[in-house]
Amino acid sequence: MRIKEKLECPIWKIPYLFIKSLIVFIKIIKTGILILLLENKYFDKYTSLILKVLNLIIANKNQEKIGKNLLNCLISLGPGYIKLGQALSTRPDMLGKKTCNELKALQDNLSPISNSIAKKIIHNENENFLLNNLSSFDEKPIASASVAQVYTGYLKNGKKVAIKILKPNIHKNLFEDFTFFYWITRCLEFFIPNIKRLKLSRNVEILSEVSLNELDLTLEASAADELAENFKDNPNYKVPKIYWEFTTKNMLVLEFIEGIRIDDLDRLSALKHNIKKITEIGTEVFFLQVFRDGFFHGDMHPGNILIDRKGALVPIDFGIMGRLSNKDRQFLALLLTYLLNKNYKKVVEIHHEANMLGKDISHDHLAQAIRAITTPILNKPIGEVSFAKLLGQILSLSKKFNIEVQPQFTLLQKTMLMAEGTTRQINPNINMWELSRPLIDKWINDTHDPFKILEEWFHKNKLILLKIPEIIEKIDEILSKK
């Protein structure tokens, strides 16, 4: 059954979902978050006025506790909302540094399940693992996130391992949250037809499928293996080894690598790590994942990235991964290049070539509109330029110019926001997109190089080419018999 069919709710559930939406809306407003959003002027005047009135009536008046209130609210609402909070924790530009610092607890510091339940889960997955394969097991978890909990132990060969287990009932709870998100987006698309081009419900489908795949730890192990293969020759990016013999759908056993969170600047500085180099490595790794491989880490909040003693980046969670086709990668590379070069006509051209524009759209008017909304961003100091915000601004033109929003970029956009937010947290003076520019230019040139294209064609068709002499020989035999 497709994820869309799974997310569809029966008619009898609609009253329940409607009441739930009101309760969720009120709970979120009570945290005071509207104050932060209104300060950043995300809404038009009419919407802002309505939200100000709601904020005045419902919201908690203590602005100092917005971050703490929002943290507790998201935890109480469920794992789907926690994932939303993890993404928001990397956006100090939207919510402020203080609120984001509070939300960091959502990354790996949630209330853990009891040790007895954890041990029972491990025993159910592999009844011999604790007794026969481990020489020691630390009963205190090192991390507890929205869907899983992580312990450490030592194998009998002396190797330290991390043991990740899924929390009880997490599949049911997460699926309920996504079903609710899907219903909300479908309602918006029904009552506001113009919003359909944003493909919100389709975006929820994609995020649901990706996130629910996170609940099969054998898929996570497979993703880690693929990522490790892609970076096997790169000393600056170390993917932990997977112990397949102990790994199941509900338990993942992998190499434990000592490291420091990428946003723990005090500890990194104390150990003489080069913050500028870390930023440059992170940017290069992100570029290679997205453009070279089309296979990228889709949950790049700081809690999922460590720095080892040699300064290498160590990803530690592979539950959410994204893929892009070569066509998607070329579009994205050209879009980034043309935006940074302020070539707005070319930005319109690639949207047209990708069949993302309506038939009667004026290309000149769209180019002018893109210039108007992006110039203020591009004219800022390089450390303040946000490519993720640029994409958001272009997205805001979708209604006026009938731009088809491509759902395959949904996870990438979320990842870009996280990557950009993390980069700004650790080094505000460096812009990851400017660092990526020469890499992207080279990649575009390579992918359009006719000799390179010919080489790839020969590589893909080498088996057929090798059979050509045999085919010619058989044809010759047939002709000689005649």
Q: Which residues contact 103 (CB under 8 A, 6 or more apart)?
A: 67, 70, 71, 74, 85, 86, 88, 89, 95
pLDDT at residue 34, rounded to an integer: 80
Answer yes or no: do 301 and 410 share one domain.
yes
How distant is the alpha carbon of residue 274 from its chain centre? 26
pLDDT in the model for residue 449: 46
Which residues of the chain register pLDDT less than 50? Answer: 449-455, 457-459
Q: What's the confidence (pLDDT) of residue 41?
A: 63
Q: 424 and 476 share a domain?
A: no
3-class DSSP state of 333? helix
**Same domain for 379 and 264:** yes
Q: What pLDDT score was predicted for residue 245?
A: 93
Domain check: are 306 and 325 in the same one? yes
**pTM of the predicted model over 0.85:** no
Tokens of 62: 């203590």
Where does residue 347 rank: exposed (0-12), middle (13-18), buried (19+ CB within 10 A)?
A: buried
- Identify residue 394 by its one-letter amino acid code: I
Q: CA–CA separation, 329 vs 296, rounded Å? A: 12
Q: What domain range includes position 460?
A: 451-481
Look at residue 197 in the predicted model and tell me its pLDDT: 62
Indicate whether 359 and 468 sit together in one domain: no
Residue 40 domain flag: yes
In the annotation, is 233 catalytic? no
Give the pair of three-digit tokens for residue 288: 């290679």
- Same domain for 303 and 425, yes or no, is yes
Residue type, 23: I
Query: 299, 308, 364, 446: which is the annotated catalytic residue?
Result: 299
Indicate whether 327 and 444 sit together in one domain: yes
Q: How many domains does the chain have?
A: 3
**Predicted local confidence at residue 225, as pLDDT:** 94
